[in-house]
Structure formats: structure tokens, C-alpha cells
Structure 1
């Protein structure tokens, strides 16, 4: 595979901006990856982030290219891996970032072969999770037993990867992974949904030009905050004359303004209930009554959308017997006593539920299958870290890249919401219509497709919010697919869910629907 390359020599050093412990003792990324966790902080408590230390960039002079073979979805594929740097211009047209991407391209790729641009969320994090969890040629094999020791996790060939039918490019925003801002550029200038998406837009245009794939259909695949990035980048790409053929939204946050749990936002409680119901089922706290999981979940959705939402809307005017009946159903689906629901106006936040189901213990925010004593780190933090460790080992062993400590930025370089501009609306009368670019793409492109995916046990981006987005958007149902999988914010940690999700993505990019 040739000489090992040290990206610290090829790029430049940046400090590791580390967060303090989260509510359950975890550090770093796990308490910041999801947009909704950031939104849970009271406005008055947010502090502007300190200025990151300056750094001097050094160019990656030439791509690092290696040859590989693998079997994906039963098909043998010869492919090349590229580690390469692309310059990205900012909104003012001046150099803004030096983006290092990792991509996998089939040796016999034709112009009609799709390309997937894949990225995680934050804002802002690297793409190690989707890279080593779902879309790359290797993956971390997570046992179904959630008590398994993460130290025993191994990297294996990823036979579920989409590489049998599409090429894959991983995007790391400046300040994450190996990507950096350009010399003299303050990274805080990139802390907005528009500037952040501009980096992705620039990468798509630069990568397709460098690889002579301007005519290939391409898709944007984003997770968590990355779904907001995908929508905004799609708008910018459409304006540049290169709209995507479709989007894949994993753990979507596009309609977050509708489902964030402010006390007066009664819809948020209704759309969150199916997630609480799924969690209660998993932990044997629900009243199953002989139902299958699918039947039980359908009952939970129906109850949330009808009787529960009606009672929330009625508030104190609802007759006592009706409130009591609703409280009993809430106990059925959540395992929380009816008396609690009656005393709390039939409301319970997801955060409160994480602490209430097992007193003295805490359900993990991102995957509520994991439970830990209050004050201790969630076991899921070690699972998450295993993806980053595996990626760095894989880069050295398979792609000819070695990263010294301090080169690969693991952490999020923001420290609060005041450091991120989510859009132009600054008043109580504003809106954050992150889904509008998707609506425009459906109208402009008869072949545009959308896939939305979510894990049942994710308390940040929930299955109910996903369903609410799809049903309220007005998007053409024949060109939209919405799927739920066993698992949490990263459902691909479960092998069966990974297999199902990748087949669903495969069906989309090969236009089987």
C-alpha cells in the first residue's frame, strides 16, 4: 500500500478543544453531537465560546491513493481509496477552508454510477461514525449484547456497505477530523448553518470536478444536525446548477422547531410519546397485553395523535374522567404511574423520563437501551469512542495514513449555542423552515427522492418527530420513504438494523422506488 503518510506533517496542528463533563459524567462529543441536546440549554445560561487558538495550515500536496478489493452485498468490487484535500471558498468567495475527504471509488465506475456524500452532525463533528459504522468498507462490529466490553470490539469487512452500487465520499467540516480553516480564517466564521453548508457545497463541486463525475447522480447523506446541513447544502447546490438526486436523513432535525419540548408546545409531547413507548417496551415496563411490537407501536402512535393530543389541547378544561382515562393509557405505554401524569398536566419531558423510569439511574440520551447510575458515564460513550479509535487504526493499516495525537480533531470546536448561527430569524416571530429547500427540490425535480430513517430508542431525534415531518410536509408520498429501526441515534450499531438500513438506501439510489 506504499509509504505511510503523517497528516500532522501534511496539515497543521490544532488544539483539542474539550468539553467538560455532561450531566451523567460523559465528556466531549457524546453530549454535543445532537442538535437537540444543545437546544435544551436555557438561553440565559449560554455563553459565547472563547476564540480558538490560531493555526498555520500546510497543504496536502497530493492525494493519497490506495487500491483495494472487497465484497459488498454479495458483489466483488475493486475500488480505490482517496485521501485528498480540497480548497473551499467562503460566502464572500475568499478561501475559507481546507477540507480533507476520504472517498471510495469503484475501478470500473461509469458516469451513471451514483455518488454519496456522507457526514455526521453536531454542529459540528467528524464523519467517523457513519464511516466506521455504516457506509465505509470496514465497520466496527458491535455485539447485540449491550453489556459487551467495548475493548473487545473489532473492525471487520463491511459487507453491508453501499459500494456495490455507489461511490462514497466522507465530509468533515473545517475544525473536525483532518479538515481545517484556511490560513488567517477564524473558525468561528464557519459557525452558521449557511457557512457550514457552503463547505459541503464546495466539496461536492470540487470532488466531482476532480474525479470527472459532474454528470453522475449524487445524494447527500446526513445524520442529526447533518440533516439540516443536507437541506441547506442542497439549496446552495441547486442554485449552482448541480442539485442532488436525493437526500438521506438519519435522525432528522429538520423540523426541530416543532418538536423541541417547550412546556407550551403540546405537539412536542405527543410526538415524543412513541419513543417513550418503545423504550418502555424494551425495558419491560410497558403493558404489552399480548401485542406484537409493531401492533403496540401503532397503538402508541394512534393514542398520541388522537386522545393524548386532544387532552393536551383541552388542558385544565378536560373533564376529570377523561384526564384519568388518558393518564391510565400513558401508564400503559410508559410504565410511569397514572398519578404522576395527572399531577403534571399529562406532561413529561424526555429528559425527565430518562431519570424516572429507573429511579437512581439514567437512560442514555442517544440510545435508551443503555442505563447507568446517575453521576456515572453512560456505557454508550465507550461504544461511540470505539468508532474513532477504529478509524485511526484503519487509516494507518489500510489507507497508508497515520495520525499522531493532536492531528485528528475528535471534539466539537464549539461550546454553546451562542457560537452558532442557526438562521436569519432573531425574533419570537421568526421561523426556521429548514425543510423548505427539500420542498423546492421536489417541485423542481420530478425524480428527486427522500429517505428518512430513525432509531426507536433515540430520545434526541425521535420517531414521532420523523413521522410528523413526513405527514405535515406536503411532500409527494410516492417519492418519500420513512423507516424506523431497532437502535438509538446510531441504529447501525445493531447489525440487523444496519443491514436493513443499507438495503433501504440501496433501493433508493438504484431507483427501485
Structure 2
């Protein structure tokens, strides 16, 4: 799974009581008083123009405690909610988070959907050194939905409390249970049980979205959703695992290699990246996968034809492809594609290029599409939350942290435990909830969660394809770093929410 465990993940963070300023604090249990201080909640009021609509809103930055049955606080989840004033209980509310696992919601919060965003270069250049401009974000979705950004335990400022081991929250199912519990608490405290509800995440946040959907709708006490927003989707980890003998990963990565080669001028095609991607899909799922499945029995004539076409799609030489046995892992592709220029390409966004220590290695030293953005986002979230939202803490904001060991088991037997695929949760929810719809947003230049792999995972038996919509962007994993794609992404999601 190392290839897809994940580049970045992003999402909206659930907020603490948005009406906290109007209500007295609830009585503290003995456990509250002895083990933990009261949750910190900061409430501020603002105004802005989003989607062309001028409005007032309340921002609530604060902690929500998850408690044991005896009332003992087990974990603090920090969230950031933005609620339009005057309050409207029939207005949609959207819960968002990032991925990792181990990533805070800073990326979606400060890059795409929050009322403020950090302005970093839009053209795949490094973000450099501070100061980084913090600007109004007219692309925020606040004109059509209230928003709650959630930082799961171990990310952002969220953490286990007292003697609770944080590993109790670190796993596909355990993490989903805690986020679902937080959402139920937020709905209780804000009187929003009958509001239209949307859930969304980026990268591993899409994995989390499927698992949380299962926790919310797979119980007798359902929290039904109107829509799930998947940005840079990864659901079926086995299909993309770089494991010897797994030929699917080469088929699913090939279209991403093709559009990347086209972007950097290493192959020629008269049409658009979208048209080249479609040609690459057809070839990858036909002649290419057929040849790979023949293994050492592949006839020499067929091998030569496949090698020739593979060179055209990838921009790599036939000599290199023969040495790689027609199977190029992404890490090798990042290094080899622009080796003649002394450059590597990015994993999260292959439009980015970087310089390694030398040009002789097999794989890149680092990912230029991550170190090209990380400084700006880290500075922005710490500055904005502490100064504009008035949330004061001595804790370090964890943008990307270690939440290991992560429990990948889904339960239900050995097969489910080794074949990590949460896509069936979405298929089940679609069959049981006729009002549920799925939004899938993918960047052409994303190798962390390739677009063809997302399409594959949601096209298996048991899915209602008429309620799944796909949207594509001319950037990578975090397509919103490109100004044009941020505007398109928010227009697309705004339409998705309004068409419920």
C-alpha cells in the first residue's frame, strides 16, 4: 500500500457548539473536573462575500470531548465551524476533513473551502519563505452550506486525554467511529438533526468518508446523508498496492503517466489531456493489462507492440521499458521522465518539478509538490486560528503527523483484513438511501490517488452509477492550489449541494 497511503488528505472539521455563547456550560461530572479542564471554545463573528453572496457568520473554534460511558473524557477533537447568521436549521451543513491518516484539516480549510485562504503560487512553483498572504476566499461554500472542519484524534490540536491511549482512535474503523460520534454530538448541540447533511474528505479523507458513512448509516440509529464529497479518492488499497504480481496497479497508473508525459512535452498528442486520458484508459484496460496478465508467456511480437505503445503513452524509452519488464512503478517514473533535464516530477502533483542531490538515483529524494506548499499552509493555520479565531493553546498544530500503528483491519474475517477496500460501504449506502449522491473530484496530475483508480473502485458491482458524478481538474492531488481549479471545484460542489 505504500504507493497510496496517502499523499495528503484534507477535509472539513466539525465544530464545537456554535451556540456556546448563548448557553451556560453543562454541569461538569466528577471525571470532567478531576481529569480534564473544560473544553475550550472560542466564538467570533464575521462577515464576507462567498459565491457572490454577502453574509454574516459565526465562527466557532473549539474542543469537543468524546467520553466513556461513565462520563470520563477520552479524547478532545478540535473543530472549526462556520454558521450563517441568522441561523437556519433547514440550511445544509457539511462536515469535512483531510486524510493521511495523520493529516489535519488545514489543507481544505485554508486552501479551498474556508472563509480565508493562504495565497501561494498557482503555477506549480515553490511557496518560498514567509510572509504568506492570508486573503479573503470568495470561493468558500458558505453561501450554500454551513461548514464544519474536523481534526481527528492525533491531528491538528486534537488528542487523547488522561490515560487514554491514542491508539484507541487510530484505525480505519476506530477513527470512523470517533468522527461519527463527534458529528452526532455536534448535531445535538446545534439543533441540526433535520438539516440536509453532507460529508466530505480528501485523500485518506475519502477512505474516512466511506467508513464514517458506514458508521452513520449502517446502524439502526441512522444519521442519513444527502451527499458525500470525495476529493482525490482512494477506496480500494489492494488494487493499487505495489506488490509483486499485482498487475492492476500498472494499469491504473498508466493514464496518469500519460497526461504527465503530455504536460511536460515528453510525448505528442493533438487533443486535450482529457482526450489523451481516455485513449490511455482504453489501451491500459485492453492490450496493456492483457499483456501483463500473460506474464512470462507473453509472445515476443505482442511484447514489442505493447512496448512501443507504452513508450508513446509514458514518454519513456523502449530500452528503459524493456529493462523494467513493461512495468514502471510510479517512483521510478517520477525520476526517469525528466532525467535528461536533471529534474524529477511530483507525486501529489506531477506538474511540479524538483532537483535531487544528483541525477543518478532510481527514485526522487523527495516530493517537490509537497515541499512546494507545506510552509505556507502551516504558517496560515497557526496564524489564523490563534489570531483571527482567538483559539489559544500551547499545543502544536499537527499538519501531518504519525498515527502509527494504524489498524487497517475492517473486521469480518481474514479476507476483509488483508483486502482493504471501503468502496462497498458506499455501494451499500447508495442502495439503502435513495436520496444519497456521490461527488468525485480528481486531478489529472495526481499519483497519490490516481483518477483511473478512483473510477475503477466505484464502478464495481453494486453501485448506482447514475448517482455518482465525476469532475476533473488540471492540477494534482490538491487541485485547489491552482486558482482556476479552486474556482471550478467550488462551483462544481456548490452545484452538487444545491441540486439535492
Q: TM-score range by the shorter chain?
A: 0.7 to 0.9
Residue 477 of structure 1: aligned partner: 465
Residue 397 of structure 2: aligned partner: 408
Residue 233 of structure 1: aligned partner: 212
Equivalent of residue 123 in structure 2, options 145, 149, 152: 145
Equivalent of residue 78 in structure 1, options 56, 71, 85: 56
Equivalent of residue 364 in structure 1, options 343, 346, 358: 346
Q: CA RMSD in A?
A: 2.5
Runs of 4+ residues over 6 Å off in structure 1: 90-94
Q: In terms of mean alpha carbon deviation, does 432-441 or 346-355 score higher?
A: 432-441
Aligned 8 A contact 1:96 1:181 in 2: yes
For residues 440 and 399 of structure 2, what CA distance do their matches in structure 1 show? 27
For residues 308 and 69 of structure 2, what CA distance do their matches in structure 1 show? 54
Structure-to-structure mapping, 1:39-438, within 5 angstroms:
58-61=36-39, 63-89=41-67, 95-147=73-125, 149-151=127-129, 153-238=132-217, 239=219, 240-288=221-269, 290-359=270-339, 361-375=343-357, 378-379=367-368, 380-404=370-394, 406-415=395-404, 418-424=405-411, 427=414, 430-438=418-426
Give the Å deviation of 1:33: 11
For residues 340 and 198 of structure 1, what CA distance do their matches in structure 2 show? 47
For residues 244 and 410 of structure 1, what CA distance do their matches in structure 2 show? 28
For residues 150 and 473 of structure 1, what CA distance do their matches in structure 2 show? 47
Aligned 8 A contact 2:347 2:367 in 1: no
Q: Secondary structure at the match of 1:251?
A: strand
Give the Å deviation of 1:485: 1.1
Q: Deviations over 1:311-363 (max 9, x none)?
A: 11223333322221111111111110123223433211111111111235432
Gaps of 5+ in 1: 1-31, 39-55
Q: Secondary structure at the match of 1:206?
A: helix
Q: Could you say if the C-alpha distance between residues 260 and 342 of structure 1 is closer, same or farther in structure 2, counting changes exceeding 3 Å?
A: same
For residues 74 and 412 of structure 2, what CA distance do their matches in structure 1 show? 24
Aligned 8 A contact 2:100 2:400 in 1: no
Q: TM-score, normalised by structure 2?
A: 0.86
Structure-to-structure mapping, 1:459-478, within 5 angstroms:
459-478=447-466
For residues 346 and 214 of structure 1, what CA distance do their matches in structure 2 show? 54
For residues 397 and 62 of structure 1, what CA distance do their matches in structure 2 show? 15
Q: In terms of mean alpha carbon deviation, does 492-501 or 366-375 score higher?
A: 366-375
Aligned 8 A contact 1:425 1:432 in 2: no
Give the Å deviation of 1:62: 5.3
Give the Å deviation of 1:167: 0.5
Q: Could you say if the C-alpha distance between residues 296 and 280 of structure 1 is closer, same or farther in structure 2, counting changes exceeding 3 Å?
A: same
Give the Å deviation of 1:454: 1.6
Aligned 8 A contact 1:191 1:421 in 2: no
For residues 43 and 36 of structure 2, what CA distance do their matches in structure 1 show? 19
Residue 361 of structure 2: aligned partner: none
Q: Could you say if the C-alpha distance between residues 304 and 217 of structure 1 is closer, same or farther in structure 2, counting changes exceeding 3 Å?
A: same
For residues 96 and 470 of structure 1, what CA distance do their matches in structure 2 show? 35
Aligned 8 A contact 1:367 1:489 in 2: yes
For residues 52 and 35 of structure 2, what CA distance do their matches in structure 1 show? 42
Q: In terms of mean alpha carbon deviation, does 243-252 or 267-276 score higher?
A: 243-252
Residue 360 of structure 2: aligned partner: none
Q: Deviations over 1:223-246 (max 9, x none)?
A: 111112111111111213212222
Q: Could you say if the C-alpha distance between residues 224 and 149 of structure 1 is closer, same or farther in structure 2, counting changes exceeding 3 Å?
A: closer
Q: Deviations over 1:361-399 (max 9, x none)?
A: 432221122222224654431412311211111123321
Aligned 8 A contact 1:68 1:79 in 2: yes
Structure-to-structure mapping, 1:446-461, within 5 angstroms:
446-461=434-449
Q: Deviations over 1:191-223 (max 9, x none)?
A: 111111111111111111111111111111111
Residue 500 of structure 1: aligned partner: 488
Q: TM-score, normalised by structure 1?
A: 0.84
Give the Å deviation of 1:174: 1.5
Q: Secondary structure at the match of 1:471?
A: coil
Give the Å deviation of 1:274: 0.6
For residues 38 and 201 of structure 2, what CA distance do their matches in structure 1 show? 26
Aligned 8 A contact 2:62 2:391 in 1: no
Residue 19 of structure 2: aligned partner: none
For residues 48 and 472 of structure 2, what CA distance do their matches in structure 1 show? 29
Q: Secondary structure at the match of 2:210?
A: helix
For residues 407 and 365 of structure 1, what CA distance do their matches in structure 2 show? 27
Q: How many residues align?
A: 460
Gaps of 5+ in 2: 9-33, 358-364
